[in-house]
């Protein structure tokens, strides 16, 4: 049977990984500054992570959401403490798109409305409403396009207010720091205003923290740079360090009822074990503060790079915007220097999304390679 070929692939076959390093089937080592697309948060094969999942696997891997699962409560408690959002409620699912899909659905149930406001250059996933709220017509099928979505420019509060005043909007969904779109940020003042406007007009503010959450920005959630109070926060990627797990945090104003949301695999025992291990390591190794320190170091090392326009992003969700398109540079970094980096919708932006416990030594290797390549 052939694979359904939807991914353009690099001709590299990783077979083992440890920390920030990947080894391929020829024994060649690569420095992973891409983290499998911002997924690897505590490093590949972290011993606490391997230990916790292995122990759980030995006991029980899965049972359905029709019985008690104390690991879900333990995860909710730990997540409440780590994020400071103890009053929110947790619903677990399996991916970023599914988290946003549930967030949008819940917003629509809660408000009784159906129009969504999203922003230019957004990416929220590939399922029904999530892809409709994604600013990329190439991946929106006619079926998905039936949703009512209005795309607005980011950080323009008056434009947002004019749309919300119409009274028919169930949700405003935004990435606090745009990932695929190229690292533009929702400014704290805009977030605070969006939060207040959503409350005034009976709309749910959804903070998509699928990529920026779980410490990647140097805060637990990137929106916490502001005093905004989202109705729903979606998360995935770094939450499981590679184990497929996602979820939404739901403001207590939203009332649960049996059957309102659901999933077979969401919140399974292994996923909870993986995410609990991530939270333990984020705390015990002070990874949020490391993300902030490494950002400072990265910015310092990036100064004076030839052809550099600006450093974008925050924490360890960073990008180097050059005067030229970076696709050939990215290829050169992989094949000649053994370094994985990321791309985005902006062809001039080289993205860097390493594990949150990366150190100065690894960043030095990157900047040395970059200087040679440039
Ligand atoms: N939201 C954001 C901000 C993302 O970056 C992504 C994936 O890149 C998604 C949602 C979709 O997540 P998933 O691929 O797990 O469905």
Contacts of 59 (CB under 8 A, 6+ apart): 269
Q: Is the CB of 210 under 6 A from ligand 1?
A: yes
Q: SS3 string of the chain?
A: CCCCCCCCCCCCCEEEEEECEEEECCCCEEEECCHHHHCCCCCECCHHHHHHHHHHHHHCCCCCCCCCCHHHHHHHHHHHHHHCCCCCEEEEECCHHHHHHHHHHHHHHHHCCCEEEEECCCCCCCCHHHHHCCCCHHHCCCCHHHCCEEEECCCCHHHHHHHHCCCCEEEEEEECECCCCCCCECCHHHHHHHHHHHHHCCCEEEEECCCCCCCCCCCCCHHHHCCCCCCEEEECHHHCCCCCCEEEEECCCCCCCCCCCCCCCCCCHHHHHHHHHHHHHHHHCCHHHHHHHHHHHHHHHHCCCCCEEEEEEECCEEEEEECCCCHHHHHHHHHCCCEECECCCCCCEEEECCCCCCCHHHHHHHHHHHHHHC
Ligand 1 proximity of 206 Cβ (cutoff 6 Å)? no
Span from the CA of 236 to the centroid of ligand 1 (angstroms): 8
Is the domain of 169 the same as that of 299? no
- Tell whether 9 is covered by a domain: no
Report if residue 365 sits inside a domain: yes
Judge if pTM exceeds 0.95: yes
Atom of ligand 1 nearest to the CA of 122: 3
Domain CATH code at residue 173: 3.40.640.10
Paired with 152 in beta bridges are 119
Contact 177, 198 (CB under 8 A): no
* Mutation to probe ligand 1, out of 96, 174, 178 (largest number of atoms < 8 A from CB): 96
Same domain, 21 and 117: no
Task: Indicate whether residue 207 lines ligand 1 (CB < 6 A).
Answer: no
Task: Determine whether the shortest distance from the Cβ of 123 to ligand 1 is under 6 A.
Answer: yes
With a 6 A CB cut-off, is 101 part of the ligand 1 pocket?
no
- Please give the number of the atom of ligand 1 that sits closest to the Cα of 95: 15
Q: Are 267 and 65 in contact (CB under 8 A)?
A: yes
pLDDT score, position 189: 98
Strand ordering across the sheet containing 29-32: 14-18, 21-24, 29-32, 339-340
Q: Is 180 in the pocket of ligand 1 (CB under 6 A)?
A: yes
Measured over the CA atoms of residue 11, residue 341, residue 95 and residue 202, the dihedral's sign is: negative
State the residue range of the domain holding 27.
14-47+285-373
> Residue 164 and residue 162: Cα distance in Å, rounded?
6
pLDDT value of residue 304: 87
Which residues, 6+ apart, have CB-to-CB distance to 292 below 8 Å?
A: 218, 315
Q: Is 211 in the pocket of ligand 1 (CB under 6 A)?
A: yes
Considering the domain architecture, whether residues 234 and 329 belong to the same structural domain is answered as no
**Residues 93 and 29 grouped into a single domain:** no
Separation of alpha carbons 187 and 83, rounded Å? 20
20: domain CATH number?
3.90.1150.10
Ligand 1, atom 15, residue with closest C-alpha: 96
For residue 253, is it within any domain?
Answer: yes
Return the ligand 1 atom nearest residue 127 CA.
16
Q: Whose CA is nearest to atom 7 of ligand 1?
A: 125
- Which of 237, 261, 238, 235 has the alpha carbon at shortest distance from 248? 235
In a domain, 257, yes or no: yes
C-alpha of residue 334 to centroid of ligand 1, in Å = 24
Residue pLDDT, tens place only, 11-40: 999 999 999 999 999 999 999 999 999 999
Contact 239, 246 (CB under 8 A): yes
Q: Are residues 250 and 174 in the same domain?
A: yes
For residues 193 and 130, membership in a common domain is answered with yes
Of 39, 121, 175, 179, which is best to mutate to test ligand 1, by the most ligand atoms within 8 angstroms of its C-beta? 179
Identify whether residues 25 and 151 lie together within a single domain: no
Residue nearest to atom 1 of ligand 1 (CA): 124
Assess whether 29 and 86 both reside in one domain. Answer: no
The string of pLDDT tens digits covering residues 206-226 is 999 999 999 999 999 999 999
pLDDT digits (tens, 9 = 90+) for 236-249: 999 999 999 999 99
Pairing of strands 89-93, 204-208: unpaired
Same domain, 152 and 38: no
Handedness of CA 36, 100, 212, 279 (dihedral sign): negative
CB distance 209 to ligand 1 below 6 Å: no
User: Are 41 and 176 in the same domain?
Assistant: no
The C-alpha atoms of residue 139 and residue 353 are separated, in whole angstroms, by 24
Phi, psi of 227 (to 5 degrees): -100, 20
Q: Is the CB of 121 under 6 A from ligand 1?
A: no
* Number of domains, the chain: 2
301 and 249, same structural domain? no
Asked if 29 and 166 sit in the same domain, the reply is no
- Of the three residues 237, 265, 293, the one that is the final residue of a domain is 265
- Residues listed for the chain: 374
Low-confidence ranges of the chain (pLDDT < 50): none
Report yes or no: 251 and 199 within 8 Å, Cβ to Cβ.
no
- Looking at ligand 1, which residue's alpha carbon is closest to its atom 13? 96
- Residue 254 Cα to ligand 1 middle (Å): 24
């Amino acid at each position: 049977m052939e694979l359904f070929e939807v991914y353009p692939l690099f001709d590299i076959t990783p077979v083992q990984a440890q920390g920030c390093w990947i080894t391929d089937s020829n024994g060649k080592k690569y420095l992973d500054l891409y983290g499998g697309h911002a997924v690897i948060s505590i490093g590949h094969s972290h011993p606490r992570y391997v230990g916790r999942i292995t122990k759980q696997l030995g006991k029980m891997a899965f049972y359905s959401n029709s019985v008690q699962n104390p690991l879900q409560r333990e995860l909710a408690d730990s997540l409440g403490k780590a994020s400071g959002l103890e009053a929110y409620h947790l619903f677990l699912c399996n991916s970023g798109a599914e988290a946003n899909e549930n967030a949008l659905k819940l917003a629509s149930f809660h408000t009784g409305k159906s129009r969504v406001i999203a922003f230019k250059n957004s990416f929220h996933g590939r399922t029904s409403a999530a892809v409709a709220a994604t600013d990329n017509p190439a991946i929106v099928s006619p079926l998905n396009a039936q949703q009512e979505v209005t795309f607005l420019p980011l950080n323009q509060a008056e434009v947002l207010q004019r749309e919300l005043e119409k009274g028919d909007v169930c949700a405003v969904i935004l990435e606090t720091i745009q990932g695929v779109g190229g690292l533009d940020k929702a400014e704290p003042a805009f977030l605070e205003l969006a939060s207040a406007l959503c409350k005034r007009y009976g709309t749910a503010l959804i903070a998509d923290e699928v990529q920026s959450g779980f410490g990647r920005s140097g805060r637990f959630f990137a929106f916490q740079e502001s005093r905004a109070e989202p109705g729903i926060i979606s998360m995935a990627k770094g939450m499981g360090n590679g184990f497929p797990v996602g979820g939404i945090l739901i403001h207590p104003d939203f009332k649960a009822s049996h059957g309102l949301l659901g999933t077979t695999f969401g919140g399974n025992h292994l996923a909870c074990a993986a995410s609990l291990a991530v939270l333990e390591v984020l705390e015990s190794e002070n990874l949020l503060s490391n993300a902030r320190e490494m950002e400072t170091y990265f910015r310092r090392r990036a100064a004076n790079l030839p052809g550099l326009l600006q450093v974008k992003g925050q924490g360890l969700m960073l990008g180097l915007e050059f005067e030229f398109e970076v696709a050939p540079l990215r290829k050169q970094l992989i094949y000649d220097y053994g370094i994985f980096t990321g791309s985005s919708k902006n062809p001039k932006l080289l993205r860097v999304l390493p594990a949150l416990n990366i150190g100065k030594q690894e960043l030095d290797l990157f900047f040395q390679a970059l200087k040679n390549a440039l």
